[in-house]
Amino acid sequence: MAATLLTTAAKSIAGPRSRVGRAVDALPQARTNVSAPERVVSLAAGGALSLLGFDGRGPSVLSSLVGGYLLYRAATGNCPAYQALGISTSDATAEHSRIAAGHGTRVDHAVVVDKPAAEVYRFWRDLENLPRFMTHMVDVDTTTDGRSLWTARGPFGLRVQWEAELVADVPGEVISWRSLDGADVDTAGSVHFTELPGGRTEVRVALKYDPPAGKLGTAVAELVGLDPEAQIRADMQRFKHIVETGTVPRDSDAR
């Protein structure tokens, strides 16, 4: 499950290979085990108790502590007590799914590329090409066992990382992947290549991700102008331009 917003920010500021980053990675994994309705209730109760702790009435220290705990529960979707007891009220996740039903954000888009499917597939299959056309992607390092380490830009200059594995890889037809446990962002994606007449190829990509802080993180990203649907449309136009011409487009060329 995705890391919390606090741990992601700490790793981004200090660097993933720093002492702080290594310490964060060594922490017990905080799994999403609280349902969406519970998170709303925790947010309301936690906010009320936190305010009570500062107004001089009642047991202020206790109110602040309990309020802080409930706010953590709401923001991260993780309840340490649930985790210790092996309890989860969150939506179940299927065996081969990375993100529970009803969670995360999904975007998809298709473009037609004036190249044969085998050639288009080969370009995408080299995952280290992804930062060439995905503007939010900083780096993708691949290994020989079908795994890869992705680094991307998030809101407010934060950098997030996740390790991914290939789920399906059919040359000239489909590539799909998902993040592994311990990721800063739970994510999954697939790209399908459909041969069209005239040596052209329809390329359809579907991405689903659940950022730190869940839907709150998605809302924050949209508030600062990171529209995922607009971004994937622009990225796919850059992809089309690069594969067809072999050159990286200027912004005006990618439209």
In CATH, what number is assigned to the domain containing residue 178?
Answer: 3.30.530.20
Is 176 inside any structural domain?
yes
Domain count, the chain: 2
My answer on whether 131 and 224 are in the same domain is yes
In which domain, by residue range, is 209 found? 105-245
Helix axes 117-125, 228-245, angle to 10 degrees: 120
Q: What is the pLDDT of residue 209?
A: 76
Give the DSSP H/E element, type plus range, for residue 203.
Answer: strand 200-210
53 near 64, Cβ under 8 Å? yes
Strands of 70-185 (E only): list them: 105-113, 137-142, 147-153, 159-170, 174-179
Rounded CA gap, 97 and 198, in Å?
36
Last residue of a domain, one of 57, 85, 113: 85
Is 201 inside any structural domain?
yes
Q: Strand, helix or coil at 141?
A: strand
Q: What is the pLDDT of residue 193?
A: 97
My answer on whether 114 and 236 are in the same domain is yes
The structure tokens listed for 197 are 């007449």
- Distance, CA of 131 to chain centre: 15
My answer on whether 128 and 206 are in the same domain is yes
My answer on whether 81 and 111 are in the same domain is no
For tokens 């939506």, name the residue: 91
Is 133 inside any structural domain?
yes
The pLDDT tens digits along the chain (255 residues) read: 444 445 555 555 555 566 655 555 555 556 666 776 787 788 888 788 777 766 555 557 777 788 888 887 776 677 777 777 767 666 544 443 444 444 557 889 999 999 999 999 999 999 999 999 998 899 999 987 889 999 888 666 677 788 999 999 999 999 999 988 777 777 889 999 999 999 999 999 998 876 554 444 444 444 434 577 888 999 999 999 999 999 988 764 444
Q: What is the pLDDT of residue 221?
A: 45
Rounded CA gap, 153 and 91, in Å?
28
* Cα-based torsion angle of the residue sequence 15, 17, 21, 27 in order, rounded to the nearest 10 degrees: 160
Is 140 inside any structural domain?
yes
My answer on whether 110 and 230 are in the same domain is yes
- Distance, CA of 252 to chain centre: 28
Is 211 inside any structural domain?
yes
My answer on whether 43 and 166 are in the same domain is no
The structure tokens listed for 56 are 């001089």
Residues in CB range of 162: below 8 A, 6 or more apart: 149, 150, 179, 180, 182, 183, 184, 185, 186, 187
Is 92 inside any structural domain?
no
Rounded CA gap, 18 and 15, in Å?
5
My answer on whether 119 and 236 are in the same domain is yes
My answer on whether 111 and 187 are in the same domain is yes
For tokens 């689903």, name the residue: 208
Rounded CA gap, 34 and 49, in Å?
20
Closest CA to 38 of 74, 10, 68: 74
Is 22 inside any structural domain?
yes
Rounded CA gap, 235 and 216, in Å?
24
